[in-house]
Structure 1
């Protein structure tokens, strides 16, 4: 089975991934790994820079006893003009599954159409990043369970809550996927979309959310919505997605989350960031117990371990 978009998942599948990820987390703490994927090979194919996603998939496969072949644009035959489809057909001769990141929307679906082996989308341009959305929600559920604020059902904890997405919502594939994953739940949180007017969530995404019954509010006023925010999801303004430096600088630094600002947020607010950050979260907030972005990064390995084990 491929993992291309969050619409591939329904609520029961999300719950299965979360239960498996929690088991993986316990297993790693107890003994470091297992050999459930011994003899299997994963191809990590990254045409865009990556630290967390690439390394967490690599570590996930190795902790499950498998091996990894890594390919970047600079080391692949794409430099010679080879098509994505031919690259995929070549690599699947050597591996059991493939993780793909590419700067163009729709490339994961193209790869899956050409491949006989499973394809996992690690980000296709400004499109989607489904495995990130899964680890984001897993982190929220885990955080609330630790504080006693969550019911036993890890997804039920989202009902009636407010999820505020902040920053570059136009180009931010992580926010697209997280919002759409929420819409797959029977009782989704309400969504508040905070951004400069130039960086609003794509209308197609908003239309789909509302059609599925999700309450959506768009604003540029973070301070007004912060006191009601249960989850604050911060994203950077992505310099690499802008056509010119001038266009980037016009919106860079629009919002900065720091210790002083977060005095207005609830004491159990969960603050996430897909990372890397530039200056949108001040380091003076890192020690706050509501800051969960480094835990979020670690959870990425457990969720990707779960996905690899389930897919393979």
Structure 2
């Protein structure tokens, strides 16, 4: 049973529990009208200490499409956080009003702290450069729907792999499925961090290698997971400017890829995927964004125990 649980890390749920969420998402996609009132009278609090478009709007759209209501804030200055209120006190207060909370925070571990003081389920909607488990559920559902399976895949992760929490979460999740291997494409300064390399990949004997040129490996990939170089994670503007255009996926590079390779991106993009790729059927990132709403609908329903 997932009722009353928190989701802080993609490994918080077993593979069987993940399949429960995906199966319910399948049902919702098939007939969304059946789910219009399953959260009548329930309230979701969206506590966003960092800006967001897709994650916040998809959580709110998910709850509204289930018949529930929304409270919360979209940036900390619109809350008592600006007066110095702690995460612990914020979640204790919100627990008096809402039935479930989704929290995004620039500090790693903040949603975990919140969960320790919360009497309602807390969902980590992204914490610093650490984890983003509901984006991972989105990614897994997208791959599962479009590829038909989550095993025996070669996944290329490209761009900012050092600070990219979506990549860290995805590697954690896909490492649990059989015979997946990874190719990490990045400049040396943005390589995958040691904790992912050692604690996830090496510890579990997951096959991986690193590359500096996208063209050298595109032909091997079943999935290319693009990420932007994130200005907000850099302390030095010069480093950001130097690295921001390291990898740009365009029509010419796509000639190296398989006909059925999927291009995913957690969005927002800046210029790392050319707009001409939007017309390529292999560009799946807007389908991915829509699947994000459906998987969050399923997750909310499961954590609230309304289904």
Give TM-score, length-normalised by structure 1. 0.93
SS in 1 for 2:160: coil
1:89 paired residue number: 92
Match of 1:204 among 174, 188, 195: 195
Contact kept, 8 Å, 2:140 with 2:150, in 1: the verdict is: no
2:127 paired residue number: 124
**1:11-90 paired onto structure 2 within 5 Å:** 11-28=15-32, 31=33, 33-71=35-73, 72-90=75-93
SS in 1 for 2:91: helix
What is the alpha-carbon distance in structure 2 between the residues aligned to residue 306 and residue 56 of structure 1? 12
Q: Does 1:268 align with 2:260?
A: yes
1:98 paired residue number: 101
Range that drifts further, 228-237 or 70-79: 70-79
| Alpha-carbon RMSD | 1.1
Q: Does 1:216 align with 2:208?
A: yes
Match of 1:307 among 294, 299, 302: 299
Aligned residues: 298
Q: Structure 1 segments of 4 or more deviating over 6 A?
A: none
SS in 2 for 1:290: coil
Contact kept, 8 Å, 1:206 with 1:216, in 2: the verdict is: no
SS in 2 for 1:253: coil
Task: Note the alpha carbon deviations across 1:225-268, whole angstroms, 9 max, x for none.
Answer: 11010000000000010002101012110000011100110000
What is the alpha-carbon distance in structure 2 between the residues aligned to residue 159 and residue 296 of structure 1? 19
Contact kept, 8 Å, 1:258 with 1:281, in 2: the verdict is: yes
1:240 paired residue number: 232
What is the alpha-carbon distance in structure 1 between the residues aligned to residue 92 and residue 238 of structure 2? 41
SS in 1 for 2:251: coil
Give TM-score, length-normalised by structure 2. 0.95
Contact kept, 8 Å, 2:218 with 2:256, in 1: the verdict is: yes
2:184 paired residue number: 193
Contact kept, 8 Å, 2:50 with 2:106, in 1: the verdict is: yes
Task: Note the alpha carbon deviations across 1:6-60, whole angstroms, 9 max, x for none.
Answer: 11022111211111111111122xx384211111100000000000000000010
Contact kept, 8 Å, 1:9 with 1:184, in 2: the verdict is: no
Range that drifts further, 10-19 or 194-203: 10-19
